[in-house]
Structure 1
Amino acid sequence: MTTSARGKIALVGAGEYLPIMAVVDKALLADLEDTPQVVVIPTAAVPDGPATTERWAKMGVDHFSQLGVHVEPLMLRTREDANSTHIVTKLAGANFVYFSGGKPHYLLETLKDTLAWEAIKNIFGRGGVVAGCSAGAMVMGGVIFRFPQFWQTQPALGLVPDIAVIPHFNELPATLSQAIDRIDVKETVVGIDAATALVWGNNAWTVQGHGTITVFQEPKKAQYNAGQHVALAPLTS
């Protein structure tokens, strides 16, 4: 017998830590049962160098500090970090984890099959929030696309096993977004606009933010606006 998954997931198309996303993040924080303990993780930015990684960490700390909650940067840079006692202990004390954007394949290879990823799944399992923007959203699905070769995929982290995420969807060239109709993958393809989040919580998927969610699901695609429920498979545990 399966039961509805307890925690919340927020998959953001773009715009993490910007004022435009504050309303979405406030709502996620408000639903926590305990005092918010947020960690921001800039792992996806590591290939762009330490200055970029530190900048994303600072942006995350500034953003959540302005929302009035306790927040720490978690400088998880390598697979060695992802299996370290220090990192896992920090995650064990958190109830809200946020992955900022960058290089999705680096983030995926750094996290998969690690103690850190197990700790993050435990946050979700005990009612916490797992949020990811752009690259951070992509790795949460069942597969990840090898841009720009949409026809090539590899297994992702599978927190949301039945979907494949395309962030920045409203920023894609028209020819690219039209080509998605022809992608042959078993997962449902979900395009998430900038400043928009696809959120799982209260046993439903909903759109939050300022843009739309586009779902490519046979036999047709559908678009959903802020506040609407999205016709995707429910998460179970």
Structure 2
Amino acid sequence: MERQLEDKLIIIGGAEDKKGNKDILKYVSSTIKKDKDKLVIATVATEEPKEVGSMYYNLFMDLGVKNVDILDVNDRKEANYKGNIEKVKGASLVFFTGGDQLRITSILGGTPLYQSMKNIYKNGCIFVGTSAGASVMSHTMIIEGYDDESPRKCTLKMAPGLGFIQDVIIDQHFAQRGRIGRLLVGIAENPQVLGIGIDEDTAIVVNNKGFFNVIGSGAVYVIDGRGITKSNVSEQFPEELLSMFNVNMHVLKNGNCFDLTSKVPFEEERI
């Protein structure tokens, strides 16, 4: 897997390999100049920032990244600190760890630190998120829903995310936690957006041309609801089983590609 110069987002389904070949983390580290670019690990999502930050710090250092820093922000006050804002301004890559996606948005939303992140993203900084850090990348994110169950009406809770990618809903730990039902509910409620479910140790690499490529050992599931002809979504009887006709799903593996504009999958990468 070689670096693609137009990479903008790397969205990981969680539990990426940290002990074996580390293919996804190797790819992440290959997207910057290891000897001089700065990689910032953002531990905002986790309630164990010291342990999680230290783990990823050691992993990226072992992969040859020379300039690794940790952004440890635990409340909104710290999201206003000049030192934290300056730390982000100098980053070539920002890596959001797992944890609780609502911690990320509730701590960062509307702060100077979040504005700085949006600015560096527009200027070419690569943003990476794993697990909760993956869900938060989209404009709207899933925060709660039933795992491993048949889909039921109005049982999904969603909230605004960081908005680095538009018109999609991302779910993670997808096959491992049986989350197809809750993503179907999300698409039934929002047929205009794509649902993207990402397995563990799997990622999508989104470039600035509107394509994403799949890397890793699992699958990526793309649910397209534009063709839905009927659904029973409503606020009445929220625990009733969801009924939905003519929803389209694609399953992609390592090396496959998807065009987010035309909503068409391809067998091979598109650069």
The answer to whether residue 195 in structure 2 is matched with residue 194 in structure 1 is no
Q: Is the 8 A contact 1:32 1:128 kept in 2?
A: no
Residue aligning to 2:163: 158
Q: Which has the higher contact order (CA 8 A, sep 6+)?
A: 1
Instruction: Give the Å deviation of 1:90.
Output: 0.5
C-alpha separation in 2, matches of 1:213 and 1:21: 20
What is the alpha-carbon root mean square deviation over aligned residues?
Answer: 2.3
Tell me the equivalent position of 1:29: 29
Q: What is the CA distance between 1:17 and its match in structure 2?
A: 7.0
1:102 paired residue among 89, 99, 111: 99
Q: Which amino acid aligns with 2:39?
A: V
- Please say which of residues 6-15 and 19-28 is displaced more in the overlay: 19-28
Q: Secondary structure at the match of 2:252?
A: strand
Instruction: Check 1:179–1:30 CA distance in 2 against 1; reply closer, same or farther (3 A cut).
Output: closer
Instruction: Provide structure 1 residue ranges, at least 5 long, that are not aligned to the other structure.
Output: 47-51
Match of 2:64 among 63, 68, 79: 68
Q: Please state how far the C-alpha of 1:198 moved relative to its aligned partner.
A: 1.0
Code of the residue aligned with 1:63 in structure 2: it is L
Structure 2 counterpart of 1:171, from 155, 168, 176? 176
When residues 153 and 181 of structure 1 are mapped into structure 2, their CA distance, relative to the original with a 3 A threshold, is: same
Distance verdict in 2 for CA 1:111–1:179, change over 3 Å:
closer
Partners of 1:82 and 1:108 lie apart in 2 by 11
Name the SS for the 2:164 alignment partner.
coil
1:177 is aligned with what amino acid? I
Aligned twin of 2:267 = none
Aligned to 2:223: 216
Q: TM-score, normalised by structure 1?
A: 0.85
Tell whether the 8 Å contact from 1:140 to 1:156 is kept in structure 2 after alignment: yes
How far 1:117 sits from its partner (Å)?
1.6
CA distance in 1, matches of 2:249, 2:73: 37
In structure 1, the partner of 2:18 is 18
Deviations 1:32-56 (A, max 9, x none): 368321111111112xxxxx22110
Shift of 1:145: 1.9
Could you list the per-position Cα deviations for residues 111-145 of structure 1 after superposition, in whole angstroms to 9, with x for gaps in the alignment? 11222122222332222210011111111112112
In the aligned structure 2, how far is the partner of 1:74 from the partner of 1:145? 24
Kindly tell me the number of residue pairs found equivalent between the two proteins: 223
Contact 1:198 1:205 in 2 (8 A): yes
Residues 166-225 of structure 1, C-alpha deviations (whole Å, 9 max, x = no match) = 10001123xx42353343113211101000111112622111111111011123011111
Aligned to 1:89: 86
Q: 1:17 to 1:112 in 2, by over 3 A?
A: farther
Higher helix share: 1
Distance in 2, matches of 1:21 and 1:193, equals 17
Determine helix, strand or coil for the equivalent of 1:170.
coil
**Per the alignment, in what secondary structure is the counterpart of residue 257 of structure 2?**
coil
Q: What CA deviation, in whole Å up to 9, does each residue of 1:129-163 have, x standing for no partner?
A: 10011111111112112312653322221110211
Match of 1:49 in 2: none
Say whether the 8 Å CA contact 1:17–1:59 is kept in structure 2. no
Greater Rg by CA? 2
For the residue of structure 2 that corresponds to 1:44, the secondary structure is coil
